[in-house]
Structure 1
């Protein structure tokens, strides 16, 4: 029996710190007796962005001059998250760097439980881009290439500031995804961030381990959730795309005109839940 780590990364829009509680409960139920072998952690970076977004929304709503409040609020928070993460990301203390620090913190928490345990990430929506950038930067740093932004630009300086001490060799490998055995993305919008580049320049992360498997769930009716294989040969080799109906049954049929709810239901879909549980079960057995 093996201890396994599950780390979730949330997506765009207004998000509460307990966003992954329902997903984790569903997975524990599916895992049964194996559930105690899975260390579950969640990455929460929306707190870095939320207060400024809230103030903008409240000033706008107070004016009473806009319509479609729910959709408008989703767009403000969602696109605001994406823009905030990319704008001036090379600056020290940028949102991009702080979000990567949250991922590193979750990984360090798992490392403290067992330093060599396999890690499975589950990333929703924008979280797929955030996590992919983190792993891509870590792999560049490990290869000795310069990294332009984030904690991997100078991981030693980050550790000194965030932890007050150097990283151990084991921590450095673990933080770089060195034991990552699985990634499940849901409603992923990586294509939005890379579509302006030539196909030859659209390069995914390298498989972190020989066990690594990446499954990408998308709903054909969700304009923010995309298949990844069409991006490039690298993605076709690395990723398995699976189309699902995240809207669910009749409700999904009635919601063919897209709405935010059709983007936020992936973690309630049995196909996605079963796949995540199967991945964890395979690694824990």
Structure 2
């Protein structure tokens, strides 16, 4: 299983709480403590490919001031990602601050941070006629995570959980693999065993405009598996919160997208009133409405394959 983070992440252990919760839900769904040994999980940490550029931008536009505020927002986002719902409160309240003494050149510093983090990463990630350095560096990290998985289970069914820009990155990675644009040593690294794809707070709908006519969606290879159990387990579920302004349903984009995506699942993530705001975008990782159905899907396949190889 692979986790792929979105924007605003600066620590490699961003998924530790989500992983712990997923394992607990998986054990509960299988009712077998031994099942946990078969659930192999890695996290792709691509942030270093963009962080240095992002930090230089902040320092050069507002020297010495914005970086401190932006750093505080980054720390709060990291805390939310690793399970602190209380950190949503200062993160949300800071968005109401228009002016901070000592930061004379810009107003709305938290909104500026959000734009810098999301739009800045998006711009850096795009391939241009002059450079694909960031794009390749990002996908090199995804490939490394897949290689770590393949060392232990080279042909196991692969489940991918990807948030925000990470969902675009994951879709691009497996789409490129399917087109033969990347070398891969094992079936898992080649994306041939991709079985479950779970997008959280995904802006993929915006990316469909890049190639025109809503582009072509990623196809889940396990759908065409000769193994009927594996084919039955294949799914793409797109989780989105209606208050998350960066997340969009996908099935309505075109008939092709309707066939590719099994469900646009509306969820309410985040604590209390904070979950009723755009801050919900950072709250998917540890919400039971997201983690439990993913764990149940994986557990269904494990139970169905219990008589044979069940490494996931």
Q: Note if 1:127 corresponds to 2:166.
A: yes
Of residues 247, 254, 258, the one that matches 1:225 is: 247
CA contact (8 A) 1:12 1:77 kept: yes
* 2:297 equivalent in structure 1: 279
- Alpha carbons of 1:90 and 1:122: their partners in 2 closer, same or farther (altered >3 Å)? farther
SS in 1 for 2:40: strand
Matched, 1:250 2:245: no
Q: Which stretch shifts more, 65-74 or 234-243?
A: 65-74
Count of matched residue pairs: 248
Secondary structure class of the residue paired with 1:267: coil
- 1:192-220 residue CA offsets vs partner (Å, 9 max, x unmatched): 11236543x52111221123210000011
CA contact (8 A) 1:9 1:123 kept: yes
Confirm whether residue 181 of structure 1 aligns to residue 195 of structure 2.
yes
Name the CA distance, whole Å, in 1 between partners of 2:130 and 2:171. 17
> Do 2:269 and 2:289's aligned partners in 1 also have CA atoms closer than 8 Å?
no
Task: Find the counterpart in structure 2 of residue 237 from structure 1.
Answer: 259
Residues 78 and 13 of structure 1: is their aligned pair in 2 closer, same or farther, counting only changes over 3 Å?
farther
Deviation (angstroms), 1:178 = 0.7
CA–CA distance in structure 1, aligned partners of residues 134 and 212 of structure 2: 27
In structure 1, the residue matched to 2:122 is: 82
Cα drift, residue 91 of structure 1: 4.2
Separation (CA, whole Å) in 2 of partners of 1:90 and 1:97? 13
Question: Do structure 1's residue 114 and structure 2's residue 153 form an aligned pair?
Answer: yes
CA, structure 1 residues 90+42, in 2 after alignment: closer, same or farther (shift >3 Å)?
farther
Equivalent residue, structure 2, for 1:160: none
Residues 118 and 179, structure 1, Cα contact 8 Å, conserved in 2? yes
**Secondary structure in structure 1 of the residue aligned to 2:222:** coil
Moved more, 203-212 or 182-191: 203-212
Are the equivalent residues in 2 in contact too, given 1:13–1:77 (CA < 8 A)? yes
Uncovered stretches (5+) of structure 2, i.e. residues with no partner: 28-32, 66-102, 224-230, 304-312
1:89/1:230 Cα in 2 relative to 1: closer, same or farther (>3 Å)? farther
Of residues 82, 90, 101 in structure 1, which corresponds to 2:140?
Answer: 101
* Distance in 1 between residues matched to 2:188 and 2:291, nearest whole Å: 25
Asked whether the equivalents of residues 157 and 188 of structure 2 are also in contact (C-alpha less than 8 Å), the reply is: no
Aligned to 2:220: 207
Shift of residue 71, structure 1, vs aligned partner: 2.1
Query: Which TM-score applies when normalising by structure 1?
Result: 0.81
